[in-house]
Amino acid sequence: MALLTIPAEDRTLADSEGIAAYLAGCGIDYERWIPAHPIAIDASAEQILEAYSGEIDKLKAHGGYVAADVIDVSAETPGLEEMLARFNREHWHDEDEVRFIISGHGLFHIHPKGGPVVAIEVEAGDLIRVPRGTWHWFNLCSDRRIRAIRLFQDTAGWTPHYTDSGVDEKFLPVCFGVSHLVA
């Protein structure tokens, strides 16, 4: 289950419907794909894409996405810090950032035009779509692990453009989800 916080309003949302409604107001799509398809822990990327082919096809038809793959990141990933450093500063892309989380956790900060920054923690079963042009940044949580399906309209468009606003430095890249408190 995702967790959404709005630091400027000292507000936290932990119910899927409330999170989806709030994010929709920021132009962000959020969904829970429940029930998740059973996937073995050691499933290959091909097996994951096959298990979720129905949902992927729907997203492709809806959002004009042409390709899907699976990103798999852990503390053992070579060059992890360099990779994360590309995306942990406020930026935007020329295409949508679409992620369906298979395992692990991630923390998206979204900076809507004219609205307060919101932090959304995502985990298995969460789909998030950050439309092109949206200011955002991304961190891993303490488990340093995320496996997610990505969808692309055009892989060439997925380069970060940095805002250099400095806003990202005002927010701690810390996850507060229940799964971390009990871990």
> What is the number of the residue whose Cβ is closest to Fe ion?
97
Q: Report the distance separating Cα 60 and Cα 118, nearest Å.
A: 27
- Cβ nearer to Fe ion, comparing 43 with 121: 121
CB of 181 to Fe ion, least distance (A): 27
Q: Classify strands 29-32 and 97-111 as parallel, antiparallel or unpaired.
A: unpaired
Do 161 and 91 contact (CB within 8 A), yes or no? yes
CB of 130 to Fe ion, least distance (A): 7
Q: Report the distance separating Cα 100 and Cα 31, nearest Å.
A: 9
| Run of H or E including 99 | strand 97-111
- Cβ nearer to Fe ion, comparing 16 with 163: 163
CB crowding 36-54: b at 16 or more within 10 Å, else e: eeebeeebeeeebeebbee
Residues binding Fe ion: what is the number (CB under 5 A)? Answer: 1
- Cβ nearer to Fe ion, comparing 24 with 83: 83
CB of 133 to Fe ion, least distance (A): 11
- Cβ nearer to Fe ion, comparing 36 with 71: 71
Kindly write down the DSSP assignment for every residue of 38-54, as one continuous string: P--TT--HHHHHHHTHH
- Cβ nearer to Fe ion, comparing 7 with 131: 131
CB of 43 to Fe ion, least distance (A): 25
CB of 154 to Fe ion, least distance (A): 15
CB of 128 to Fe ion, least distance (A): 11
Q: What is the CA radius of gyration of the chain?
A: 16
Residues 76-115 that bind Fe ion (CB under 5 A): 97
- Cβ nearer to Fe ion, comparing 51 with 129: 129
79: left (phi over 0), alpha (psi -120 to 50) or beta: left
Enumerate binding residues for Fe ion (CB under 5 A). 97
